[in-house]
Protein backbone atom coordinates (compact mmCIF):
# COMPACT_ATOMS: atom_id res chain seq x y z
CA UNK A 1 0.00 0.00 0.00
CA UNK A 2 1.42 3.32 -1.08
CA UNK A 3 2.14 5.51 1.90
CA UNK A 4 0.71 8.99 1.47
CA UNK A 5 2.98 11.93 2.08
CA UNK A 6 2.35 13.32 5.59
CA UNK A 7 1.89 16.87 4.29
CA UNK A 8 -0.65 15.69 1.72
CA UNK A 9 -2.50 13.84 4.46
CA UNK A 10 -2.44 16.91 6.65
CA UNK A 11 -4.01 19.01 3.91
CA UNK A 12 -6.47 16.28 2.95
CA UNK A 13 -7.79 15.94 6.49
CA UNK A 14 -7.95 19.64 7.27
CA UNK A 15 -11.25 21.49 7.05
CA UNK A 16 -10.34 23.25 3.81
CA UNK A 17 -8.94 20.09 2.31
CA UNK A 18 -12.23 18.33 2.88
CA UNK A 19 -14.12 21.07 1.11
CA UNK A 20 -12.09 20.89 -2.10
CA UNK A 21 -15.24 20.13 -4.08
CA UNK A 22 -17.01 23.24 -2.79
CA UNK A 23 -14.01 25.40 -3.67
CA UNK A 24 -13.71 23.89 -7.13
CA UNK A 25 -17.41 24.24 -7.88
CA UNK A 26 -17.47 27.83 -6.62
CA UNK A 27 -14.66 28.92 -8.91
CA UNK A 28 -16.20 27.01 -11.82
CA UNK A 29 -19.63 28.56 -11.35
CA UNK A 30 -18.07 31.99 -10.79
CA UNK A 31 -16.42 31.85 -14.20
CA UNK A 32 -19.51 30.37 -15.86
CA UNK A 33 -21.83 33.04 -14.53
CA UNK A 34 -19.55 35.89 -15.49
CA UNK A 35 -19.38 34.39 -18.97
CA UNK A 36 -23.17 34.18 -19.17
CA UNK A 37 -23.48 37.75 -18.00
CA UNK A 38 -20.96 39.01 -20.54
CA UNK A 39 -22.75 37.10 -23.28
CA UNK A 40 -26.24 38.32 -22.47
CA UNK A 41 -25.82 41.70 -20.81
CA UNK A 42 -25.96 43.62 -24.08
CA UNK A 43 -29.23 42.03 -25.09
CA UNK A 44 -30.74 42.77 -21.69
CA UNK A 45 -29.69 46.39 -21.87
CA UNK A 46 -31.25 46.65 -25.31
CA UNK A 47 -34.46 45.16 -23.92
CA UNK A 48 -34.48 47.66 -21.09
CA UNK A 49 -34.01 50.66 -23.36
CA UNK A 50 -36.59 49.32 -25.83
CA UNK A 51 -39.02 49.05 -22.95
CA UNK A 52 -38.37 52.66 -22.00
CA UNK A 53 -38.66 53.73 -25.63
CA UNK A 54 -42.08 52.16 -25.82
CA UNK A 55 -43.28 54.09 -22.80
CA UNK A 56 -41.89 57.48 -23.90
CA UNK A 57 -44.68 58.35 -26.36
CA UNK A 58 -47.33 57.62 -23.73
CA UNK A 59 -45.92 60.18 -21.32
CA UNK A 60 -45.88 63.16 -23.68
CA UNK A 61 -49.02 64.19 -25.61
CA UNK A 62 -48.46 64.26 -29.35
CA UNK A 63 -45.21 62.33 -29.24
CA UNK A 64 -44.68 59.37 -31.55
CA UNK A 65 -41.10 58.46 -30.80
CA UNK A 66 -38.23 59.22 -28.48
CA UNK A 67 -34.57 59.88 -28.98
CA UNK A 68 -31.85 59.43 -26.45
CA UNK A 69 -29.94 62.71 -25.97
CA UNK A 70 -27.56 64.21 -23.45
CA UNK A 71 -28.42 67.38 -21.63
CA UNK A 72 -25.39 68.45 -19.65
CA UNK A 73 -24.26 65.25 -18.00
CA UNK A 74 -27.72 63.68 -17.95
CA UNK A 75 -28.92 61.13 -20.49
CA UNK A 76 -32.59 61.72 -21.18
CA UNK A 77 -35.13 61.06 -23.93
CA UNK A 78 -36.39 63.79 -26.21
CA UNK A 79 -39.97 63.04 -27.23
CA UNK A 80 -40.56 63.88 -30.91
CA UNK A 81 -43.86 64.42 -32.67
CA UNK A 82 -44.61 63.25 -36.20
CA UNK A 83 -42.89 66.31 -37.66
CA UNK A 84 -39.75 65.35 -35.80
CA UNK A 85 -40.10 68.41 -33.60
CA UNK A 86 -39.67 68.33 -29.85
CA UNK A 87 -42.95 67.51 -28.14
CA UNK A 88 -41.53 67.18 -24.68
CA UNK A 89 -38.98 65.47 -22.50
CA UNK A 90 -38.89 62.11 -20.72
CA UNK A 91 -36.30 61.80 -18.01
CA UNK A 92 -35.45 58.50 -16.33
CA UNK A 93 -35.05 58.79 -12.58
CA UNK A 94 -34.42 56.49 -9.69
CA UNK A 95 -34.38 56.84 -5.94
CA UNK A 96 -34.92 55.00 -2.70
CA UNK A 97 -38.46 53.84 -2.09
CA UNK A 98 -39.86 52.21 1.02
CA UNK A 99 -38.37 48.78 0.32
CA UNK A 100 -35.84 49.18 -2.47
CA UNK A 101 -34.94 51.46 -5.36
CA UNK A 102 -37.76 52.72 -7.56
CA UNK A 103 -37.13 53.46 -11.25
CA UNK A 104 -39.50 55.87 -12.97
CA UNK A 105 -39.88 57.85 -16.20
CA UNK A 106 -41.03 61.46 -15.87
CA UNK A 107 -42.69 63.15 -18.81
CA UNK A 108 -42.21 66.94 -19.10
CA UNK A 109 -43.48 69.67 -21.39
CA UNK A 110 -40.92 71.08 -23.90
CA UNK A 111 -39.98 73.91 -21.52
CA UNK A 112 -39.96 71.59 -18.52
CA UNK A 113 -42.46 73.80 -16.73
CA UNK A 114 -44.97 71.11 -15.89
CA UNK A 115 -45.32 67.36 -15.77
CA UNK A 116 -47.05 65.61 -18.64
CA UNK A 117 -46.94 62.06 -17.33
CA UNK A 118 -45.38 59.59 -14.94
CA UNK A 119 -44.64 55.89 -15.29
CA UNK A 120 -43.12 53.45 -12.81
CA UNK A 121 -40.64 51.07 -14.47
CA UNK A 122 -39.42 49.08 -11.54
CA UNK A 123 -40.47 48.86 -7.93
CA UNK A 124 -40.30 46.39 -5.07
CA UNK A 125 -42.78 48.04 -2.72
CA UNK A 126 -45.26 46.18 -0.52
CA UNK A 127 -47.72 44.34 -2.75
CA UNK A 128 -51.21 45.75 -2.41
CA UNK A 129 -50.08 48.88 -0.61
CA UNK A 130 -46.89 50.51 -1.87
CA UNK A 131 -47.18 48.73 -5.22
CA UNK A 132 -50.29 50.80 -5.91
CA UNK A 133 -47.97 53.58 -7.06
CA UNK A 134 -48.10 51.79 -10.44
CA UNK A 135 -51.85 52.36 -10.79
CA UNK A 136 -52.64 54.74 -13.61
CA UNK A 137 -55.46 56.33 -11.60
CA UNK A 138 -52.93 57.48 -9.00
CA UNK A 139 -50.21 58.44 -11.49
CA UNK A 140 -52.59 60.52 -13.59
CA UNK A 141 -52.86 63.12 -10.85
CA UNK A 142 -49.27 64.17 -11.61
CA UNK A 143 -50.28 65.33 -15.07
CA UNK A 144 -50.28 69.13 -15.27
CA UNK A 145 -48.52 69.73 -11.96
CA UNK A 146 -46.05 72.58 -12.09
CA UNK A 147 -42.37 71.94 -11.62
CA UNK A 148 -41.32 75.19 -9.98
CA UNK A 149 -42.55 74.16 -6.54
CA UNK A 150 -41.84 70.83 -4.87
CA UNK A 151 -44.64 68.32 -4.77
CA UNK A 152 -45.69 66.92 -1.41
CA UNK A 153 -48.11 64.11 -0.58
CA UNK A 154 -51.16 64.91 1.50
CA UNK A 155 -53.91 62.94 3.17
CA UNK A 156 -56.37 65.66 2.23
CA UNK A 157 -58.81 64.21 -0.33
CA UNK A 158 -58.74 67.54 -2.17
CA UNK A 159 -55.10 68.36 -2.69
CA UNK A 160 -53.94 71.85 -3.48
CA UNK A 161 -51.84 72.97 -6.43
CA UNK A 162 -48.54 71.43 -5.46
CA UNK A 163 -49.88 68.56 -3.41
CA UNK A 164 -50.81 65.06 -4.51
CA UNK A 165 -53.08 62.58 -2.79
CA UNK A 166 -51.06 59.97 -0.91
CA UNK A 167 -52.06 56.30 -1.07
CA UNK A 168 -53.71 55.09 2.13
CA UNK A 169 -51.29 52.79 3.89
CA UNK A 170 -48.42 53.75 1.57
CA UNK A 171 -47.37 57.16 2.83
CA UNK A 172 -43.66 56.52 2.48
CA UNK A 173 -43.95 55.12 -1.04
CA UNK A 174 -45.99 58.15 -2.10
CA UNK A 175 -43.47 60.44 -0.47
CA UNK A 176 -40.58 58.64 -2.20
CA UNK A 177 -42.13 59.16 -5.62
CA UNK A 178 -42.61 62.86 -4.89
CA UNK A 179 -39.03 63.14 -3.70
CA UNK A 180 -37.64 61.37 -6.79
CA UNK A 181 -39.71 63.61 -9.06
CA UNK A 182 -38.70 66.79 -7.24
CA UNK A 183 -34.98 66.05 -7.17
CA UNK A 184 -34.61 64.81 -10.71
CA UNK A 185 -36.81 67.46 -12.30
CA UNK A 186 -34.87 70.18 -10.45
CA UNK A 187 -31.56 68.72 -11.68
CA UNK A 188 -32.86 68.47 -15.23
CA UNK A 189 -34.21 72.01 -15.27
CA UNK A 190 -30.85 73.30 -14.05
CA UNK A 191 -29.01 71.38 -16.77
CA UNK A 192 -31.54 72.50 -19.40
CA UNK A 193 -31.14 76.15 -18.40
CA UNK A 194 -27.35 75.76 -18.53
CA UNK A 195 -27.54 74.23 -21.99
CA UNK A 196 -29.94 76.86 -23.30
CA UNK A 197 -27.82 79.67 -21.88
CA UNK A 198 -24.65 78.16 -23.21
CA UNK A 199 -25.38 75.83 -26.16
Partner 1 sequence: MSKENPTALERFIWGIIPENPIFRQVLGTCPALAVSTDIKAALTMTCATAFVLICANTIISLIRHLLKPHLRIVVFVLTIASFVTIVDYLLAAFYYSMSLQLGPYVPLIIVNCIIICRCEVCASKQSVGVAISDAIGQSLGFGLALVSMASFREILGSGTWCGFRIMPDSWPNWVLMLLPPGAFFVFGFLIGAVNWFTSLKKNKSS
Partner 2 sequence: MLLEISLLAGLVMLLLALFSGYSLGWANKTFHVEVDPKIAQVNHVLPGANCGGCGYIGCADYASAIVLQGVSVTKCPVGGESCAKKIADIMGVEVKQSWPYRPVIHCAAKYPDRLKRIPYAGEATCIAANLVSGIQGCVYGCLGYGDCVAVCKYDAIHIVDGLSVVDYEKCIGCGACAKICPRNIITMVPFKMENIVAIACSNKDFMNDVKSVCNVGCIGCKACERLSPIFKVANNLPSIDYNQYDPGVSYQAVVDKCPRETIIYVGKPSQKDKDAVSKEEVPKPVEAQFKTTVDSTEWRG
Cβ neighbours for 32, distance < 8 A, ≥ 6 positions apart: none
Length of the chain: 199
Query: Is residue 48 close enough to count as binding partner 1 by CB under 8 A?
Result: yes
- The three state secondary structure string of 33-84 is HHHHHHHHHHHHHHHHHHHHHHHHHHHCCCCCEEEEEEECCEEEEEEECCCC
CB 41, min distance to partner 2, A: 10
CB 36, min distance to partner 2, A: 10
CB 83, min distance to partner 1, A: 31
Query: Is residue 32 close enough to count as binding partner 1 by CB under 8 A?
Result: yes
Round to whole Å and give the CA distance between 146 and 161: 8
Write out the residues near partner 2 by the rule CB under 8 A: 14-16, 18-19, 22-23, 25-27, 29-31, 33-35, 37-38
- List of residues contacting partner 1 (CB under 8 A): 18-19, 21-22, 25-26, 29, 32-33, 36-37, 40, 43-44, 47-48, 50-51, 122, 124
Amino acid sequence: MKKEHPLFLCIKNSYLGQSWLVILLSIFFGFTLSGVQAFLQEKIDTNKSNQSMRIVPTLVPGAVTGKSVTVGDLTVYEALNQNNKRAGWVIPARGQGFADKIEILIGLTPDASSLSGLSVLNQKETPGLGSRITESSWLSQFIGKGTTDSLTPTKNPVPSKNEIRAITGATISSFSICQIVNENVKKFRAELRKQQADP
